[in-house]
Amino acid sequence: MTDKKLPSLKANAQTEVGTTLRDFSIEDVELALRMLAYHGTSYSKVSTILDKEYQLSVHSNTLKRWATVQFANKYAAIQQELDTQISNKLSGELTDIALQATDLQKEVINTLSHNLGDLDTKDLSVTAKNLSSVINPAIEKTQLLRGKPTQRTESKDAEKIIAKLAEMGLVKNPEKLDIEITDAEIVEEDD
């Protein structure tokens, strides 16, 4: 008995541009597009995953053509459908990056503090500073993906503040104050 690949019983896929794929079914295409949406457009990585995990051999150039030309609308719809899952995955990965960078920053600081006389402190301090430039954006992006604020805004009404101060006895005759009252907004950005 020989190992021979049986022809697929699935219908060949019709592309959005009116052509027919002779070697792939619409189910094959949808699986590949879902993998691309979930793993990002790392075409060679997705090609490897499809081959190893699903025994579906699709060249990376073919995946790119499917996502950008032949099934672009279907790919966009799948991305929209998987948006929450993708955001959760990214949020988790960005949190991992921030945690790893924080751990590395701690190691650099510990090494610096234990070996002050033996090491080039400039290099270590630059490394610690550079790691913080990885941590902050990762935390901010995580907050955005989780729907949490990245800055806080607080508005104060100057007339209400003066009235409250007068009520507390800290300002006498607020109506006689010779100041121009304007509303102000205080914005505190997370660092």
Question: What are the φ and ψ backbone dihedral angles of 88, each rounded to 5 degrees?
Answer: -65, -40
pLDDT at 52 over 90: yes
Phi then psi for 20, rounded to 5 degrees? Answer: -115, 135
Structure tokens at 65: 């053509």
- Cα–Cα distances in Å, from 99 out to 111, 143, 148? 18, 14, 18
Question: N- to C-terminal Cα distance for the chain?
Answer: 67
Answer with the residue of higher pLDDT: 159 or 83. Answer: 83
Question: pLDDT tens-digit profile of 74-87?
Answer: 999 998 888 888 77
Q: Is residue 61 scored above 80 in pLDDT?
A: yes
Q: Are 131 and 101 spatial neighbours (Cβ–Cβ below 8 Å)?
A: yes
Give residue 164's pLDDT: 80
| pLDDT reading at 163 higher than 60 | yes
Q: What is the mean pLDDT of residues 144-167?
A: 75
Q: How confident is the model at residue 43 (pLDDT cuts 50, 70, 90)?
A: very high
